[in-house]
Structures are given as C-alpha cells and as structure tokens.
Structure 1
Amino acid sequence: MGSPTFDLPPDTGAPPARRSRRKQARPGELLEAALDLFVSKGYAATRVEEVARLAGVSKGTLFLYFPSKQELFKALVRHVLADRFAEWSLELDNYQDDTASLIHYCYEVWWTRIGATKACGLPHLVMAEAHNFPEIAAFYRQEVVVPGNRLVERILQRGIDRGELRAMDVGYGTTLVLAPLIFCAIAQSSGGLCLPNPQFDVPAFLRLQADTLVRGLAPDAQGALP
C-alpha cells in the first residue's frame, strides 16, 4: 500500500472554515505525535491509541489516515526522511563548488535537518527492533538506506570524475562517509550515552570528520584504498 497524500484544498480566495483547517492539519499532527512516541518508546511499545490521544483525535480518526501502526510508521519515515531524497538529489545536481566544500555542506545539512531533530532517533529505533520486526527493517532499508547510499556514491563519484578525490571503491567510501552520521544519530537518541563528555560538540566533530575525509581521499594522499 502506498503512502497517503495530504494535498491542500484549492485556493478559493476565502479563508477555509475552522473544521476544514483542522481536518487538513490532522495528518501532520498525527505524524508529529507518532514521531514523539516511536522515538521515545520504540516501535513495539507504541500503541496507536497513544498516538491518537497525543494528537488530540480518536483512534478511529487516526485509522482514517493510517490503516495500521505499520502504515503509520511507514508514512512517518517517508515524511521525515525518505521523501527528502528527491530534494537532496536536486541540490547535488545544482551544486557548483568543489567536492571538499560539498562534503562539508552535506554534513552540515544532515545535522541541521536530521541530526539535531527528533528524526535522528529513527535509525536507532530500526536497528534496535530489526530482529523482531524484519518487515520494518526491510522497508527502512529500501526507503532510506539504499537511496542514502546512492546519494553518497554520487557525491564520491563526482569527486573522482573531477579529479578532486582519488579512485576508490565507492561502496567502502560511502561507509566511511556515513559511519560518523550513524554514530551521531545513536549518540543523540541515547542521550549522549556513547559520547566522551556532556560538552561534546557534535557539529565540531562533524567538521573535523569532513576535513579528515577530504584529506584522506585526496588524490595526493599517501596509501591506497582497496
């Protein structure tokens, strides 16, 4: 089943009635409530009744938009993560600066749009519950992991083609780029449990990571990649 669409009503020039405005806002309110509960309680422990209650609607109203908890979770993942890949791909198509600046920019964008938001808890949730809910893990891999890997592969291949990065297996290179983001997502969603101290500056760490990657993958760097 595909994800539901939430189109706004046509502009008639007059303000919509209060009931109409409320109806249009409900899907977003439900997804916001679902994000709060899924991230704080996990997939298994979250009940649709709680999501509806937090959003201020009945369970029956929730089911009008999302026929099951699994479909609610899928819509949430698409809303906060998967649907952004088209936007990010377009940004990459139009990016004019060099690859070093692009890698720094990607880390900054990830932090501001994902890492510093509640959405950073979703990767941790999926990894924690993948064994018990393999269908959720498979969905997340298809909708988020695969397109995310492809986007990073495009970034690295762009750098190779422009002579700004040395030739490499872009699969290994993609893992190098994404590993610190996964670490930061887990750190954020676990309350900083795996960080060395409470004052750990994640944006500063990501800037250092981006600089280290750029230097290590430069054409004149010492050593060879597999």
Structure 2
Amino acid sequence: MNALPSLPDQPEAPRRGRRKEARPGELLEAALDLFVEKGFAATRVEEVAARAGVSKGTLFLYFPSKEELFKAVVRKNIAGRFAEWDLELEAYEGTSSELVQYCFQTWWERVGSTKAAGLGKLMLSEANNFPELADFYRREVIEPGHRLIRRILQRGMDRGELRPLDLDHAVYCVLAPLMFLTISQPSPSLCILDPECFSPEKYIRLQADNVLQGLCVRPT
C-alpha cells in the first residue's frame, strides 16, 4: 500500500518578527523584576536590557528613558487595570458585604500576591527622591484607587447596606490593612511577618470581616 503523501508544513511566522513583537512585554517584565528587587534609583537600563536579552539601544526604541519605562511598568501591572475593575463593579450583583470581601480577595490575587505589589513599596521608599514619578503614581494609581473604593462604599450606602460614612476618611479604613500587607512582605533586609505562622489569605479574610463590622448598618 502506498503511503499517503505528507502534508507540507505550515509556514512559521518569522522568528525575528515574533521576537520583535514580544520585546516590549519582555522588557516590562524584566524591568518589573529589577525595580522590585533593587529599587528605581539602583536599577540601570543596561541591566533591564540584558535581562530581557536585548541591547540598551533596543530598549530605548520602545522606552525613551528609565522614567518612561517605570511608568509603562506601572500602567501594565496596576494603573491600566482600573477600567477593567470599574466594569466589574458595574456588573456586580451581590451584597455590599460580599463585594467588600470580593475586593479584598481579588486585590490579593491580582496585585498583593504578585510582584506588582512591590511597586507601591518602592514608591513609599523613593517618592521623596523622585517627585515627578511620585506625582505620576498618585494620579494614575492612588487617586483612581480611592475613587473605586468610594464608589464601592457609596453603592453600599445607596442600597441601605452600609451606614452613612465620611467617604474622605472611610476609604482609608479599607486601604489600611492592604497597605500593611504590602509594606510587610518579606524583603532581603527586613521581614516584619513570620512566614511560618502568618497567612496572607487568612489575614485578608479577617480584615474584610473586621472592616465590615464597622461599615455595615447596625441592628437597631
């Protein structure tokens, strides 16, 4: 019996073309790693390029300065996701208690437990030395985050599930436990929490319950 003729291999996309398209993402991933590991000031663009496997000149084709590279990292990992989170809030149908618990847990899964959490810790330590980056981070991360939390709390008040709140200050009741977890994550020089007995997941659930005890409408 004659063998069936083999089908011709499908032509592959040129390796160089695929590589070029992947470069911005690879550079942003390498930059996130180094910024979190070393801080903004100590990270050199040559190191980022080397970790991504490209030349410094190639890096500057995509990002004209280290500052613009840092902004792109923040936008990809945090700031650029607020539109998605706003849509989730619009579509959410559960109670306010369920929404607050969902937000705590989702923040941990998407930000707090990832390398992106190190960006907030970095800004806390280096903001005074880089005021322009601090202003950028405030505009694109802190202020949208506050607006999102205000919307969550206002939704609860409108539904009669949360008691009347001073929103200017209530947002910090929600943020405080998340900020503590962010700055307490292990680092080479300082570890506040004992990883053998501290569970971030249990802490998140406990803090969500604790915050809700203060925010929810109290029985008469």
> TM-score, normalised to structure 2's length?
0.91
Q: Is the 8 A contact 1:100 1:214 kept in 2?
A: yes
For 1:211 and 1:190, locate their aligned partners in 2 and report how far apart those are by CA, in whole Å.
28
Structure 1 CA distance, aligned partners of 2:107 and 2:12?
36
Indicate whether 1:110 and 2:107 are aligned: yes
Distance in 2 between the 1:162 and 1:170 partners?
A: 16
Larger radius of gyration between Structure 1 and Structure 2:
2
2:58 maps to which of 55, 58, 61: 61
What SS does the corresponding residue of 1:149 show, helix, strand or coil? helix
Distance 2:135 2:186 in 1: 21
Alpha carbons of 1:196 and 1:82: their partners in 2 closer, same or farther (altered >3 Å)?
same
Query: Which of these residues, 204, 207, 213, is aligned with residue 205 of structure 2?
Result: 207
Query: Equivalent residue for 1:188?
Result: 185
Return closer, same or farther for 1:73/1:187 CA change in 2, 3 Å cut-off: same
* Aligned-residue offset at 1:188: 1.7
Q: Which residue of 1 aligns with 2:122?
A: 125
2:175 to 178, 197, 200: 178
C-alpha contact 2:111 2:117 (8 A) present in aligned 1: yes
Instruction: Output the CA distance in 1 between the equivalents of 2:218 and 2:50.
Output: 58
How many residues align? The count is 210
Verify the 8 A CA contact 1:35 1:119 in the aligned structure 2: yes
Distance 1:187 1:198 in 2: 14
Give the RMSD, CA atoms, in angstroms.
Answer: 1.6
Amino acid at match of 2:176: A
Checking the alignment, whether the CA contact within 8 Å between 1:104 and 1:210 is kept in structure 2 is yes
Cα deviation, 1:106-155, whole Å, max 9, x if unaligned, reads 01111111111101100010010011101111000000000000000000
Q: Is the 8 A contact 2:79 2:140 kept in 1?
A: yes
Measured against aligned partners, the alpha-carbon deviations of 1:58-93 in whole angstroms (never above 9, x if no partner) come to 000000000000000000000000000000000000
Alignment of 1:70 onto 2:67: yes
Partners of 1:170 and 1:86 lie apart in 2 by 21
Matching of residues 142-157 of structure 1 within 5 Å:
142-157=139-154
Which residue does 1:34 correspond to in 2? 31
Q: Distance in 2 between matches of 1:72 and 1:175?
A: 30
Q: Which residue of 1 aligns with 2:166?
A: 169
- Aligned equivalent of 2:91, options 86, 89, 94: 94
Q: Report the alpha carbon displacement of residue 194 of structure 1 after superposing the two structures with TM.
A: 1.9
Shift of 1:199: 2.1
Instruction: Give the structure-1-normalised TM-score.
Output: 0.89
Aligned equivalents of 2:114, 2:106: Cα separation in 1: 12
Structure 1 unaligned blocks of 5 or more? 1-12
The worse-fitting range, judged by mean Cα deviation, of 26-35 and 198-207 is 198-207
Give every structure 1 segment of 4 or more consecutive aligned residues whose post-TM-superposition deviation is greater than 4 Å: none
Separation in 1, partners of 2:91, 2:79: 20
Unaligned ranges ≥5, structure 2 = 1-9
CA contact (8 A) 1:115 1:188 kept: no
